Amino acid sequence: MGRLIKVTSGNTVLVPLIAILLGLLTGAVVMLIGGYNPIVAYAALLERVFGNIYDFGETIRQITPLILTGLSVAFAFRTGLFNIGAEGQFILGMTGATLIGDQVSLPAYIHLPLAIIVGALLGGFWGAIAGWLKAKRGVNEVISTIMLNWIALYLGNYIVKAFLLEPGMQDSRIIKSTAILSVDWLTNLFDGARVHWGILIALLAAYAFYLILWKTKQGFELRAVGLNPYAAEYAGMNVGRNIMKAMFIGGVFAGLAGAFEILGVFHYQSIASAFPGYGLDGIAVSLLGMNSPLGVVLAACLFGVLTYGSAGMSFAADVPPELIRVVIGAIIFFIAAQAIVRLIIAPFYAKRNKAQGGS
Amino acid sequence: MSTNVPVVELLGITKRFPGIVANDAISLKLHKGEILALLGENGAGKSTLMNILFGLYQPDEGEIQMNGKPVIIDSPNTAISLGIGMVHQHFKLVQPFTVTENIVLGMEPRKGMNIDYQAATRKVKELSEQYGLSIDPNARIADISVGMQQRVEIVKTLFRGADILIFDEPTAVLTPQEIEELMAILRKLVAEGKSIILITHKLKEIMQIADTVTIIRRGKVIDTVKKTETNTQHLAEQMVGRKVSFQVDKKPSQPKLPVLEVRGLHCHGPRGEEALNGITFGVRAGEILGIAGVDGNGQSELIEVLTGLRKSYRGDVAINSTNVTNWSPRKITESGLAHIPEDRHKRGLVLDFSVSENLVLETYFYPQFNKNGLLSYDAIDRHAEKLIERYDIRTPSIHSVIRSLSGGNQQKVIIAREIERNPELLIAAQPTRGLDVGAIEFVHRQLIEQRDKGKAVLLISFELDEIRNVSDRIAVIYEGQIVGEVMPHETTDQELGLMMAGSKESKEGGDKHGSTH
Amino acid sequence: KPSPTSEANPSPGASPGGAAGSGKDFKFGMVTDVGGINDKSFNQSAWEALQKLGKDTGANVKYLQSKSDADFVPNLNQFVKGKYNLTWGIGFIIEKALKQVAQQNPDAKLAIVDNVVDLPNVTSVTFAEQEGSFLVGVIAGLMTKTNKIGFVGGMDIPVIKRFEAGFRAGIKAANPQAQLITNYTGTFDKPDLGKSAAATLYNGGADIIFPSAGATGSGVFNEAKDRSKAGKKVWVIGVDKDQSVEFGTDITLTSMIKRVDEAVYKICNDMIAGNFKGGQVTNLGLKDNGVGIADNSNINVPEDVLKKVEEYKAKIISGEIKVPDK
Amino acid sequence: MEFLNLLGQTINITLVFSTALILAGLGGVFSERSGVINIGLEGIMIAGAFGAAVFSYYAEDAGMGELSPYIGLLAAILLGVIFAWIHAIASIRFKANQVVSGVVINFLALGMTVYLVKLLFEGSGQSPTLQFAFTKLTIPGVTDIPFIGTVLHAYPTTYLAIILVFIAYYVLYRTPFGLRLRAVGEHPSAADTVGVQVLRTRYIGVLLSGVLAGLGGATITLTTTSMFSHNTISGQGFIAIAAMIFGKWHPVGVFGAACFFGLSQALKDLLQMYGLSNWIPSEFIYMLPYLFTVLVLIGAVSRAYPPAALGEPYDPGKR
Ligand SMILES: Nc1ncnc2c1ncn2[C@@H]1O[C@H](COP(=O)(O)OP(=O)(O)OP(=O)(O)O)[C@@H](O)[C@H]1O
Ligand SMILES: Nc1ncnc2c1ncn2[C@@H]1O[C@H](COP(=O)(O)OP(=O)(O)OP(=O)(O)O)[C@@H](O)[C@H]1O
Ligand SMILES: [Mg+2]
Ligand SMILES: [Mg+2]
C-alpha cells in the first residue's frame, strides 16, 4: 500500500502527464506550421478511437501486441540487456502459431493452447540464441538481435512458403478453427472488431513480469546479474545461464505477441518483405513505460491509442498520420529529459510552496 | 619554514548535500613549503572540502584566499591555472591511454595540428627524473601497478605547474615499499617549494611527515595542531570522538585440523601470464594465516581460484579434505567458504540492490527465504534487521540502496553477510582498505572472533601492520609462489620487505607486469 | 447467380442519368497496401482513376493508406461503416482482409484489384500479366545484343511469377538462344536493392532488364541511367505504367502496361450508372486491352520488331498461343 | 581475366553498398567514443536522406544542374546535425538516458520527414525522382584499365567515405581533440580534472555523428534511390551500429565491418546471378548477409570493449 502511494504520488505521475501534454503540444505546433488545425485533428483522433465500439475494439487489438513486445524489451533492460530482437522473436511467435494452427489436428482445448505455447517457445528460443551468443561467445546482443531479426523475417517467409502456402497466394492457409483465439461474442460485442483473449493474457504477462522479477528466486538472480554480473558471479549465480534465461523470457513475451496476432487477429501469415514493426515499437513502449510492467501497460495504451487514432486524423483532417510519430517521439523525449519538464513545472511548485508557507 | 601569509586559506567553507552538511564553516590555512594533514572519519567531509578547493564543487558559503587575495575557483581549469593540483582518492587516469597521454591530456604539446608525442615524452621524462618519480612514459595505464599509477598522477600535476598539491588518501592502495617511496617524494616536493595537503587515515604517516594536522569530524574542524605537539592516540581520539585501541588484543591461537590445503596450484592471469606458479600452503582451524606480498604477485588470482571465479590448470585445492578444485563458486561457498572480496564495489555488492537484498546475495535460495521458487521478503527483511543490529550497520533503512552507504558501512554489510553464513574458512582480502580507524578496529575484531570460534581465516593484505597485528602466521607470496613463512612476533618489517621483494634482490620500483616475463 | 440489386443500396438518385457529372451522391473509397498512392504502380494507377472520376462525375473519392497488414481490415471498415457506395482494396495481399470485411457486411459493396474474392458483394479485377509480359519478352528477345536478358522481381510470389513466366516464354518464342537471368530482391519498396540487382545483371552481360518490383524497380532505372551517362547503352522495360514518362525514352525500351486505372474507372462509372455487378471476376488480358505495350514503343523498338509483336499478340488473342502463368 | 573482372565488379558493388554504412558507422564512432550511445543513427540517416533528396530537388528546380547533389549533401549535413543536436541536448545537457534519447531521434526523424514530404509534395509519400543524382566518376584513362578501372569506377560519395575513414583515424589518434574526445568517453571525470570541457567535447562528438550519419543517409538518396520515402532508410542505421561495434569503435575497423556487410549484400546478388537460386530457396539467400555476420561473430576470438563511460551522463557531483 505504501509502495502504491509512493508510485502514484508526486512527480512520478505529474512528470509523465506533463510530458504527454508537451508532446501533444509539440504535435500541435507542427500541425499549425503545416497549416492544419490541431484541434480538429486531435478531435478526429479521439473520435476514431472512442467514437464507436468497433474502433475502440480495434484499438485494444492494436494495444495487445504492444504490451507484450514492450514487456519483452523491458524485461531484457531490467536484466542489463538491450533486446532489439523483439521483432524477430515476434515473427517466430507468428510462425510457430501458424505452423501448429495449420499442421496439427486436435480438439480446440488442446490445439489452441498448444499453438500459443509453441509460438511463445519459439519466440523464447529466438531470444535465447542471442543470449547464448552473449553468454558463451561474448557477442554483443545489440548486433546479434539485429541480425536475428532479419534471419527470422526470411525464415518465417520460407516456412510459410514451403509448408503453409495457400496455392497461388502470398500467404498461408487460414489456420484451423480449433486454433482460433477470436471470441465470437467478444467480437460481436465490439461490432466486429478483432478483440481476442490476448489482451487478458498480455495483462497477466505484465503481472507475471512483476512476479518473476520481484517475487521469485529466479528474478532475484536475473536482477542481480543485470545490475552487477561480477557480484552475481561472486555470489554463485551462473551469469551466462541467467543471460540466456533473461533473453528467453523476453523472447517468450514477444513470441506470445506474434502468436496472438495469428491466432486472434489474422488467422493466416503473410510472406512479408518488411518487419511488422511491433518489436521496434516495443522499445519505445518499454522506454515510455520506464521498464516497469505497469508503465509498459500504460505506455502501450497511449501508444496504441495514438497510432490507431492517427488514421482517423488523416481521414478526417487530412493530417499525415506520420505526425503521430513526432508526438510519440516528443513525449518520450520529455519523459527522458525530465529535467526539462521539472524546469517547466518548477515555477508552479515554487508558487504553491510559497502560498502554503504564507498560510 | 612558513611565512605569515598562507598560500591557501579557506574561510568558513560550508557545503550542503541533500540531507547533510558535508562541510560546516570549515577554515584552514596552508603555508608555503608545509605539509598539512587532514584527518577525519569516513564521511567527515575531507574529500568534499578538497574537491571545493580544486573547483569540482562550489561552496554554498565561505571564501577561498590565495596569498591573501580572494579567488573564485569555478572549475578544475581555474584551479590548475592558480597552481593547484590534486591527486584524487580514486585515480583519474584513462585506462587504455599511455602514461604520456594521460599526463599531457588537456595541455598537449603540438606540432602543427598533431600532438607532438616526442616533445611530450621528453617533457614527461624530464619531470620524472627531476623529482625522482620513476615511470615508463610509453606503458599503458591498464598494465602498470597502482604505485606507478600514483606517480603518474603526481607527474600530471607537476606537468601543469602545480605549486599546491592535494593528496586524497594516496596511501590507501599502496604497498609499504610504495608508501616509503611516496613519503620520499613528498619530502622532495616540499623541498622544491611546493605546499601539500595530505588526507590519510594512517596516523603513522601523519606523524612521519606532516607539519600540521587539521582534524575534521562531521563536517566541522575540531582542532588544528602542530605535529610536534601531539601523538597518534590523541589524534585518533579527537577524530573518532572516543578511545580507540590500535593494538589488537588477542589470545594466542590454537590451531587444529587443516581446513584449507592448497597444493602446487597453477593458473593464468588476465593477460594470459603465469599468475600462480605452483603455490602451496594450508590454513588450520583456529588460526589466521596472513599472506603478505606486493600487489600483483598473484594474490588476486589466488583468491579467484580459491573461490571458483578463475580456473586453475594444475594443482589442487581442498577444503576439509574435499577436493574442490575448479568447482563452481556456488558449490565452493556451500562447502564452507566465505569471502570478503578485495573490490567490494565490483564483486561484493550489487550497489543498486537494497541493504537487505545484499545481505542475502549468497543465501537467497535457502529454504528460510525461498519457498518453491518464491522469495519470502518478510524473512529477508527480518534477517536484515537482525544483522544490522548485530553488526551495527548504519543505514537509514534496510530498504535503502547500498550505494548510498559509506564505504565503511558497505564493508560491514559484506562482513555481516559472510560471517553469518558460519563458514569453516573465511577469506578476507584487503578488508580494511579505505576505512577509518574505527571501522578498521571493527573488522579486525570480527576476524579474530572467527578464529576464536575455531574457524580458519585467510587474510590477504598489502598492509604490513595489518598482517602483523592480526595474523597468527605469515606467508609471503612472490611471483605466484610462497617464498617463506614467518611468525609475526619473530620477524621485522625489514625481513618481510625483503621476502616480499623476492629473495635478497632489491625491488625494481615500477611495472612488474612488464618484467614478469 | 444471386446478384444483389440496387435496392440494397439506397442511392437511387444516380441511376436515371448514369452519365458523367451525376455522381455527386456517390462515395468511393480505396484502401492501399503499404505501398501507398505513390508507388508508381497499381495503387497510383487506381488512385489516379478515382481522382479522374471525381473530377468527371463529382463523386466523392477518398483513400486510406495502410501502415501495416493489420490496418487493412479497419481501413476497409472505415469506408464500409461510413456507407461508401464502393470500397476498393488494391493489391494481391489485401484479399483475405477484404473477404472478411465483405462477409461481415453483406450489404456493403467492395472491389479488389489483382486478386479474386468470390462473394456476391465483391467484384474482382485481375490481369493476365503474363500476356503483356510475353510481348515485351518478344521485344527483348529480338533486341538483345548479348543474348542475355535480366528480370528483377520484387517478392517471389505468384503475381510476379506470372510476369516472369510470360516474359520468359516471350523471349523463348522470339529468340531461343537468349538466356534469361532472374534476380528476386525480396521487396517491392527498396530501390537500392533494385539498383544493385541491376548492376549485377548488367555486369553479368545482360543488356535489357525487365523489373517487376514496384518501387524496387526504379533502382533498375537508376542503374541504367548511370550506365548510359557513362556511355554504356543498356535498356530497361517499364512495368504497369508507361515508365518512359518518368525515366525517359533513352533508357526505357518500352513498357508493359497494366490498365488498373481503366478497370477502376469503368467499374465505378458502371456503379454510378446503376449497374454494379457483384460476384464477378473480370480478368483483363490482351484482348480486352487490359494489358499491352506502351503506345510510344515505336520510339525505341524498330518497325519489324513491332510487327512481330503484333503477330504474337494476334496469336495470343486467338488462343493459338497459350501463355504460361507459372 | 574473366575472374579479375568479376572480382573488380564485386569489390565495386561492395563499396557502393558499404558507403552509407561507413559514413554512419564513423558517425557512431565519434559519438560513442565521446561516451554517448547513439541508437539514433537510423533517425539521423533518415534526416540526411530526406535533406539530400528534398534540397537537391529544389536545387534542380532552380536550375543548378550537376551542382544539385552537392547542395543535397550540405543539406544532409545540416539536417543530420539538427537531429543529432536534439540527441545531444537531451542526453548531455539534460542527462537523459541515451538509449531513450536515441529512440526519440528515430521517431522524430521518421515522423517529421515523411510529414514534411507530404506537406511539400502535395500528399505524396515520396519526394520526386532526382534528375541529377550522383553518377559514378569516370576518370579518363583510369576507368578503362581492366581491374583497377572497374574498382575505381565509383560514386564521389564512396571516395568521400574512404577519405573520411583516414581523416577520422587521424583526428581520433593524432590530434589533441581526438585524445580529449576519447578521454571523455573513457573517464570523463579524469578529463574534467585536467581541464577538458567534458560536455562541450561530447556535444562535438555527437554533432559530428550528425554530420557523418547525415552524409550516410544522403549517400543512399543521392546514389541509389534518387528519391526519399518512408522506407528509404529501413534498418541501415542499425546495421551501421552493428558495424561500429563489430569494428570495435575504430574507424578502420568500422570500414572493414561495413565492407563485410557490403560484400555479403553483393554476394546475395551474385549467387542469384549464377543460378544458385535454383538450388537454395531465395529466402536463404536473403538471409545470407545476416547469417554470415552471426557466424563470423561466433568465430571471432577477441572481444570488443566499448568506451568505459559509454552511456553514462557526466555529472561531476556524482561519484
Ligand atoms: N555527491 C554527493 N552527493 C551527496 N552527498 C555527498 C556527496 N559527496 C559527499 N556527500 C556527503 O558529504 C559527506 C562527506 O563526504 P566526503 O566524501 O567528503 O567524506 P570523506 O571525509 O572524504 O570520507 P572518506 O574518509 O571516507 O573518504 C558524506 O557524508 C556525504 O553524505
Ligand atoms: N551518490 C551519493 N549520494 C549520496 N551520498 C553519497 C553518495 N556517494 C557517497 N555518499 C556518501 O558519502 C559518504 C562517504 O562516501 P565515500 O564513498 O567517500 O565513503 P568512503 O568510506 O570514502 O568509501 P571508499 O573510500 O571506500 O569509496 C558516505 O556517507 C555516503 O553515504
Ligand atoms: Mg574521501
Ligand atoms: Mg574513503
* Secondary structure letter of residue C275 according to DSSP: -
Atom of ligand 2 nearest to the CA of B18: 4
| Residue A30, min C-alpha distance to chain D (Å) | 9
- Do residues D266 and D13 touch, judged by C-beta distance below 8 A? yes
**Strands B20-30 and B8-17, how do they pair?**
antiparallel
Predicted pLDDT at A1: 35
Q: Is A29 helix (H, G, I), strand (E, B) or coil?
A: helix
Q: How far apart are CA D274 and CA D272, in angstroms?
A: 5
Q: CA B138 → CA A58, B143, B152, B514, distances in Å?
A: 66, 11, 12, 12
**Residue in D239, D225, D262 with CA at minimum distance from that of residue D49:** D225
Structural domain ending residue among the three candidates B399, B422, B445: B422
Top-confidence residue, B19 or A59:
A59
Q: How far apart are CA B186 and CA C295, in angstroms?
A: 95
- Residue with the three cell numbers 546475495: B361
Q: How far apart are CA D264 and CA B105, in angstroms?
A: 41
Residue of D nearest to C40 (CA): D126
Show the CA angle centred on residue B232, arms to residues B409 and B500, nearest 5°.
75
CATH number of D92's domain: 1.10.3470
Show the CA angle centred on residue B337, arms to residues B334 and B343, nearest 5°.
115
Q: Which residues hold their Cβ within 5 A of ligand 4, which is an ion? A: B 407, 434
Predicted pLDDT at B505: 39
Q: Which residues hold their Cβ within 5 A of ligand 3, which is an ion? A: B 47
Based on the fold, state whether residues B69 and B160 are members of the same structural domain: yes
Q: Is B160 helix (H, G, I), strand (E, B) or coil?
A: coil
Confidence of residue B237 (pLDDT cuts 50, 70, 90): confident
Q: How far apart are CA B459 and CA B475, in angstroms?
A: 10
Q: Is B404 in the pocket of ligand 1 (CB under 6 A)?
A: no
pLDDT digits (tens, 9 = 90+) for D35-89: 999 999 999 999 999 999 999 999 999 999 899 999 999 999 999 999 999 999 9
Q: Is B15 in the pocket of ligand 1 (CB under 6 A)?
A: no
Based on the fold, state whether residues B388 and B328 are members of the same structural domain: no
Inter-chain contact D195–B76, Cβ cutoff 8 Å? yes
The domain spans of chain A are 65-294
**Does residue D319 belong to any structural domain of this protein?**
no
- Do residues D165 and B74 touch, judged by C-beta distance below 8 A? no
Partners of A223 on chain B (C-beta within 8 Å) are 350, 353
Atom of ligand 2 nearest to the CA of B408: 21
Based on the fold, state whether residues B320 and B354 are members of the same structural domain: no
- Compute the mean pLDDT over every residue in chain B, rounded to the nearest whole number: 89
* Secondary structure letter of residue B469 according to DSSP: H
Domain that holds residue B132: 8-240
For residue D294, the tally of other CB atoms under 10 A from its CB is 20
By the CB < 8 Å criterion, does A270 face chain C?
A: yes
The total domain count for chain B is 3
Top-confidence residue, B253 or A120:
A120
pLDDT digits (tens, 9 = 90+) for B42-89: 888 898 999 999 998 999 999 999 999 999 999 899 999 999 999 987
* Beta strands across the sheet bearing B212-217: B84-87, B164-168, B195-199, B35-40, B212-217, B220-226
- Compute the mean pLDDT over every residue in chain D, rounded to the nearest whole number: 91
By the CB < 8 Å criterion, does D165 face chain C?
A: no
For A76, the grid coordinates are 531484457
Chains C and B touch (3+ CB pairs under 8 A): no
Q: Quickly list H helices, B13-116.
A: 46-53, 76-81, 99-104
By the CB < 8 Å criterion, does B348 face chain A?
A: yes
φ, ψ at C190 (rounded to 5°): -125, 85
What one-character-per-residue DSSP string does B294-317 give?
-TTSSHHHHHHHHHTSS--SEEEE
Q: Which ipTM was obtained for this model?
A: 0.87
Residue of B nearest to A211 (CA): B374
Based on the fold, state whether residues B108 and B164 are members of the same structural domain: yes
pLDDT digits (tens, 9 = 90+) for B17-52: 877 899 999 999 999 999 999 998 888 889 899 999
Of D129, D229, D269, the CB nearest to C246: D129
Inter-chain contact C229–D135, Cβ cutoff 8 Å? yes
Q: CA C92 → CA C97, C112, C211, distances in Å?
A: 11, 8, 18
Q: Is B278 in the pocket of ligand 1 (CB under 6 A)?
A: no
Identify the residue whose C-alpha is closest to ligand 2 atom 6: B404
Q: Is B258 helix (H, G, I), strand (E, B) or coil?
A: strand
Please give the share of chain A, as a percent, with pLDDT higher than 90: 75
pLDDT digits (tens, 9 = 90+) for D256-288: 999 999 998 888 888 888 877 778 888 998 898
- Do residues B169 and B433 touch, judged by C-beta distance below 8 A? no
Based on the fold, state whether residues B430 and B283 are members of the same structural domain: yes
| Residue C82, min C-alpha distance to chain D (Å) | 23
Instruction: Report whether pLDDT(B269) > 80.
Output: yes
List beta partners, residue C292.
Answer: C257
A227-252 burial code (b ≥16 CB/10 A, e <16): bbbbbbbbbbbbebebbbbbbbbbbb
Atom of ligand 2 nearest to the CA of B169: 25
CB-defined contacts C:D, below 8 A: 86
Q: How far apart are CA A86 and CA A257, in angstroms?
A: 10
Q: How far apart are CA C119 and CA C110, in angstroms?
A: 10
Query: Within 13 A of A345's CA, how many CA atoms are on the CB side?
Result: 18
Q: Is C274 exposed, middle or buried (0-12, 13-18, 19+ CB in 10 A)?
A: middle
**Residue in B28, B75, B72 with CA at minimum distance from that of residue B49:** B28
**Residue in A143, A153, A165 with CA at minimum distance from that of residue A268:** A165
Mean pLDDT of D97-103: 90
**Ligand 2 first shell, C-beta below 6 A:** B 42-43, 47, 89, 404-408, 434; D 318-319
Q: Is A196 helix (H, G, I), strand (E, B) or coil?
A: strand
**Does residue B447 belong to any structural domain of this protein?**
no
For residue B389, the tally of other CB atoms under 10 A from its CB is 9
Would you tell me which residues 322-351 of chain A have a C-beta closer than 8 angstroms to some C-beta of chain C?
Answer: none
What one-character-per-residue DSSP string does chain D give?
-HHHHHHHHHHHHHHHHHHHHHHHHHHHHHHHHTT---TTHHHHHHHHHHHHHHHHHHHHHTT-GGGHHHHHHHHHHHHHHHHHHHHHIIIIIS---HHHHHHHHHHHHHHHHHHHHHHHTTT-SBPPPPSS-------TTTTTSHHHHHHH---HHHHHHHHHHHHHHHHHHHSHHHHHHHHHHH-HHHHHHTT--HHHHHHHHHHHHHHHHHHHHHHIIIIIISS-BTTSSSSHHHHHHHHHHHTTT-HHHHHHHHHHHHHHHHHHHHHHHTTGGGTS-HHHHHHHHHHHHHHHHHH--SPP---TTTTPPP-TT--
For C207, the grid coordinates are 543488356
Confidence of residue A177 (pLDDT cuts 50, 70, 90): very high
pLDDT digits (tens, 9 = 90+) for C11-57: 333 333 344 457 788 999 999 987 788 777 788 889 999 999 999 99
**Strands C208-212 and C148-153, how do they pair?**
parallel
pLDDT digits (tens, 9 = 90+) for B124-134: 999 999 888 88
Partners of A344 on chain D (C-beta within 8 Å) are none
pLDDT digits (tens, 9 = 90+) for B449-481: 999 999 999 999 988 888 999 999 999 999 999
What one-character-per-residue DSSP string does B420-453 give?
HT--SEEEEESTTTT--HHHHHHHHHHHHHHHHT
By the CB < 8 Å criterion, does A6 face chain B?
A: no
Mean pLDDT of A104-112: 94
* Secondary structure letter of residue B346 according to DSSP: I
Top-confidence residue, A308 or C13:
A308
**pLDDT < 50 stretches in chain C:** 1-20
**Does residue B230 belong to any structural domain of this protein?**
yes
- Residue with the three cell numbers 590523541: B234
**Window from B182-186, B245-249, B310-314, B338-342 with minimum mean pLDDT:** B245-249
| Residue D186, min C-alpha distance to chain B (Å) | 6
Q: How far apart are CA A19 and CA A11, in angstroms?
A: 11
- Do residues C166 and D256 touch, judged by C-beta distance below 8 A? no
Confidence of residue A351 (pLDDT cuts 50, 70, 90): low
Q: How far apart are CA B107 and CA B114, in angstroms?
A: 13
Please give the share of chain D, as a percent, with pLDDT higher than 70: 97
pLDDT digits (tens, 9 = 90+) for A260-287: 999 999 999 999 888 999 999 999 999 8
Q: How far apart are CA A205 and CA A213, in angstroms?
A: 12
Inter-chain contact B94–D191, Cβ cutoff 8 Å? yes
Identify the residue whose C-alpha is closest to ligand 1 atom 19: B43
- Do residues D199 and D36 touch, judged by C-beta distance below 8 A? no
Predicted pLDDT at A9: 40
Domain that holds residue D271: 2-314
Given a contact as 3+ CB pairs under 8 Å, which chains touch C?
A, D
Residue of D nearest to B81 (CA): D195
pLDDT digits (tens, 9 = 90+) for D196-238: 999 999 999 999 999 999 999 999 999 999 999 988 998 899 9
The total domain count for chain D is 1
| Residue D100, min C-alpha distance to chain C (Å) | 24
Residue of C nearest to D126 (CA): C38
**Quick one: angle between helices D282-299 and A108-137, nearest 10?**
40
pLDDT digits (tens, 9 = 90+) for B321-358: 999 999 999 999 999 999 999 888 889 999 999 999 99
For C155, the grid coordinates are 517478392
Partners of A232 on chain B (C-beta within 8 Å) are 350
Q: How far apart are CA A163 and CA C122, in angstroms?
A: 30
Write the single-letter amino acid at A352. R
Residue of B nearest to A224 (CA): B350
Q: Is B98 in the pocket of ligand 1 (CB under 6 A)?
A: no
Atom of ligand 2 nearest to the CA of B435: 21
For A79, the grid coordinates are 536484466
Q: How far apart are CA B93 and CA B100, in angstroms?
A: 11
φ, ψ at B409 (rounded to 5°): -70, -35
* Secondary structure letter of residue B98 according to DSSP: B
CATH number of B44's domain: 3.40.50.300
